[in-house]
Amino acid sequence: MMTSGWTWYVVVLVALNIAGCLWLLMANVKRRPGDPSPEDTSHVWDGDITEYNKPLPKWWINLFYITIVFGIGYLAWYGVGRMHGFGHWSSKSEWALDKAAEDARLEETLKLYAGKPIDALAKDPGAVALGRTIFVNNCAACHGSTGLGAKGFPNLADEVWYWGGSPESVLETIRNGRNAVMPAWGTVLTAQGGPLAVDDVVAYVQSLSKPGQSEDEAAERGEKQFSTLCIACHGPEGKGNPILGARDLTTARWLYGGSKEALHQTIADGRNGVMPAWEPVLGETRVRLVGAYVWTLSKHDAPAPREAAP
């Protein structure tokens, strides 16, 4: 919103410009005493090329006056900044009218998909196409335009669902968001198991995704620490808990990286992941359409038809 100071600055600037144009026009439409006649300027070139000093045409002068009057009337009707004109127009009200019209048109389109389960919508090519558009406009910044995710942002095209992969769970995640908290265990582990305790737990966690390989002494020590602190969320076998958003550590699908350094940071310093709640932004039906598109990105027991795939 333009401040009062800037409003008056623009008003004064416009008024000076209009007054200047009016003065310039009035000062040059009439001949002044002592001016040469239109044919007598003494400006001659090549013997027969003469510069004349004829007055401006009346129609051009009148059009200039009409333009000045129009400019004054335009400003009086529409106003400037905080000074509203006689027409009570504002860009905000204009935007509100346009938005209301577009919302009404969109509402008619969304009526076709209201209240339907996302796995049912995933069988409708039109719903999936619309969901993909909404996804790209709102979700691609974190999950990528194809849903493959990035470091710290889940891959939506694989079979791993941290908060559950049922249609209801996926819809709940998009609708109300998620808050995933991995506590910082570095201080606790060091106090209990010494300076290498975090590395020991890292060794054990890495061994969970490598079945059949013998565990070293560090992993054996880490298992004891894991059984004391970590099983409350990740379970005794490290398979996680979708209710808490706890990761399945046996799949080697690492959200923040699976190297020793990345896992050490995760365990020692903790992680905080936030999935925003999109229902207040998109509304119920558009959330379902996004869910339908996301549902088509990964494999399910009853996959969407081929034509519905993105």
Give the DSSP per-residue string, 42-84.
Answer: --EETTTEE---PPPPHHHHHHHHHHHHHHHHHHHHHEETTEE
Nearest to 233 by CA among 218, 248, 216, 219: 248
* Residue 310: predicted pLDDT: 37
**Percentage of residues in the chain with pLDDT exceeding 90?**
65
* Residue 1: predicted pLDDT: 62
Domains in the chain: ranges and CATH: 4-89 (no CATH), 108-308 (1.10.760.10)
* Residue 204: predicted pLDDT: 94
Compute the C-alpha angle 76/77/79, nearest 5°.
65
Per the prediction, the chain carries an average pLDDT of: 88
* Residue 212: predicted pLDDT: 63
Average pLDDT of span 97-109? 91
Q: Are 284 and 277 in contact (CB under 8 A)?
A: no
Whether pTM exceeds 0.75: no
* Residue 55: predicted pLDDT: 74
- pLDDT tens digits along 269-286: 999 999 999 999 999 999
- pLDDT tens digits along 46-91: 777 777 777 778 898 899 999 999 999 998 998 887 888 888 888 8
- pLDDT tens digits along 145-154: 999 999 999 9
What is the pLDDT confidence band of residue 18, given thresholds at 50, 70 and 90?
Answer: very high
The answer, yes or no, to whether residue 247 has pLDDT greater than 80, is: yes
Q: Are 298 and 156 in contact (CB under 8 A)?
A: yes
* Residue 27: predicted pLDDT: 83
